[in-house]
Amino acid sequence: MSFDGIFTHTMTAELQFLVGGRVNKITQPYANEVILGIRANRKNWPLLLSANPQYARVQITRIPFENPKVPTNFTMTLRKYLASATLQSFTQVANDRVLHLDFSTRDELGDDLSLRLVVEIMARHSNITLVNLRTNKIIDLIRHVGPDQDRFRLLMPGATYIAPPQQDKVDPFTDSSRGYRELMKTSDVPLPQLLQRHYQGLAQDTAKELAARLTQGDADADWDAFFTDLKAPTPTITTNTKVAFSPVPYQTNPGETQQFATLSEMLDAFYAQKAEHDRVKSQGENLIRPLRTLIERDAKKQRKLAQTLQDTEKADDYRIRGEILTTYLAQVERGQSSVTLPNFYDDMKPLKISLSNQLSPSKNAQKYFSRYQKLRNAVAYVNEQMAQNQAELDYLNGVMAQIEIASPKDLADIREELQEGGYLKVQKRGKKAPKHKLAQPEQFWASDGTRIWVGKNNLQNDQLTLHKAAKTDIWLHAKDVPGSHVIIDAAKPSDKTLMEAAMLAAYFSKSRASANVQVDWIEVKKIRKPNGAKPGFVVYEGQRTVAVTPDEAVVAKLRQAPTL
């Protein structure tokens, strides 16, 4: 399900307990997302307001975020106006995807000041706007939208705030006319489409669910039952061909279900990996771009070296031509551009040999011998260069694969690694700047409570395998592809724990989207790192191999610590 008007309505009801709370912290961990720390009912609640084009939403989040060292202008504006402000109301505009968070505070002179934070959840048009309610002027926005981008309204600081265009539709929560009865009489248009045209805030899946319920028996009773269920939602994630969420179980979306205590907990589970991957792509762009350039450079160099190696196969041809020319010098005249001579290596068959008409016959023969010697000498050099270049290409492709499976906190480690390797320019640190602190490997828990560690980049892999793990622990890695080092914190894990750890090794590798991924496992004491090897590179012998198919749902369960 999308975050449509129906879902916005249920989320608004869930978050009413924040009303009366006071803002005690404001952060903006990502470009399109703000977290308001609100103190309510003697607890601190991190309220996420997201204007992400793909994952726009409002919820309480328990996912830890790493804040930028330098706050944005929008963050500074919110801190100036909303620090210590009291949330007076939390309302939805009709059944639209627009929320109003009204705050009361005092200005610099001590006078009362009423402010409104408008959250518009509208895909690529999503925005978060701070408005002065007395003047209806925009103080600031998370995304500035000029007149060339939106002709209907100007979304810039100082402009008068204009609400999004209203649709001439009925709010399903306040419809007492039972308008769906007339819609059900129309047969030339599918009922879900009619419901979407008539009612406000219905996404396609919600309209489909409502249509199915209306046509299965007593329409009035089923309509009322649906909206009654929304008053006490059962947040559900359903997995079949795709993963979807809904405020209550949807009959039209059967599959394996997982239910949650709150809508916010459900959204954390649903968006954790999707939103995180999007953030990694956004924040890691300044790593991905130079990496892609280096990979393309090495791939081009490898092709050239391969062509050079292929050319060396012609070495004997040059030697034969030189020897034939030397044997029959008397039959070759200066100034010829070619000559045909008997080939004593092939039953004296005639062989046409190209010549330089600027050189004497003996010089032409010497030229062929020189080419022969040059190509022979090149073979060892080219093979060595190809091996070195391929190793670097594999390494860079491995780093690129790690960015794809990284968390935002892991990017700093990858940047540090590339700088240490000379692949990125070292950023100048101030005299008092602390040394880079390596992020901790991610923890998972097997079904029997055994702890499993997963390194998310090469530096973490080295630290985990060579320093953190005990010699008797079990080490796993996806076979022959870039991926994470996985450590089972046990000398003799159960077969189920071993398969769960193998699942993690396959999932956090370049073979994440493949089936039957081969995963090697071996005791840590048998792992060895060659001298001078790149970060994350190890060798081993005597491993055993299992096959697993990565499953995101299983990985999500393994993230949950066991309850004692």
**DSSP single-letter state for residue 67:** P
- The distance between the two most distant Cα atoms of the chain, rounded to a whole number of Å, is 112
- Torsion sign (Cα): 123, 124, 125, 130: positive
Q: What is the pTM of this model?
A: 0.67
* Long-range Cβ contacts of 341-349 (<8 Å, 24+ apart): 345/320
What is the distance between the terminal CA atoms of the chain, rounded to a whole angstrom? 34
pLDDT at 225: 93
pLDDT at 67: 78
pLDDT at 149: 80
Could you tell me how far CA 118 lies from the centroid of its own chain? Answer: 28
Query: What's the token pair of residue 313?
Result: 């196969």
- In the sheet that holds 442-445, the strands lie side by side as 442-445, 451-454, 486-488, 474-478, 517-523, 544-548
Strands in 457-525 per DSSP E: 474-478, 486-488, 517-523
pLDDT at 432: 57
Taking only the tens of pLDDT, the chain with its 564 residues reads 679 999 999 999 999 999 999 999 999 988 899 999 999 999 999 999 999 988 899 999 988 777 777 899 999 999 999 999 999 999 999 999 999 999 999 988 888 999 999 999 998 899 999 999 999 999 999 999 988 887 778 999 999 999 998 888 999 999 889 999 989 988 789 999 999 999 999 999 999 999 999 998 899 999 999 999 999 999 999 888 788 899 999 988 888 888 999 999 999 988 876 767 777 777 777 888 889 999 999 999 999 998 888 877 778 888 888 888 999 998 888 888 899 998 888 888 888 999 998 899 899 999 988 988 888 887 878 888 999 999 899 899 989 888 887 877 788 888 888 988 888 887 665 555 567 778 889 999 999 999 999 998 999 999 999 999 999 999 999 999 999 999 999 989 999 999 999 999 999 999 988 999 999 999 999 999 999 888 999 999 999 999 999 988 788 889 877 655
Question: d(Cα 426, Cα 253) in Å, to the nearest integer?
Answer: 51
The closest alpha carbon to 514, from 548, 540, 543, belongs to 548
**Helix boundaries (H) for 83-216:** 180-183, 191-198, 204-214
pLDDT at 16: 97
CB 229 within 8 A of CB 30: no
Could you tell me how far CA 450 lies from the centroid of its own chain? Answer: 28
Query: What's the token pair of residue 398?
Result: 């491995």
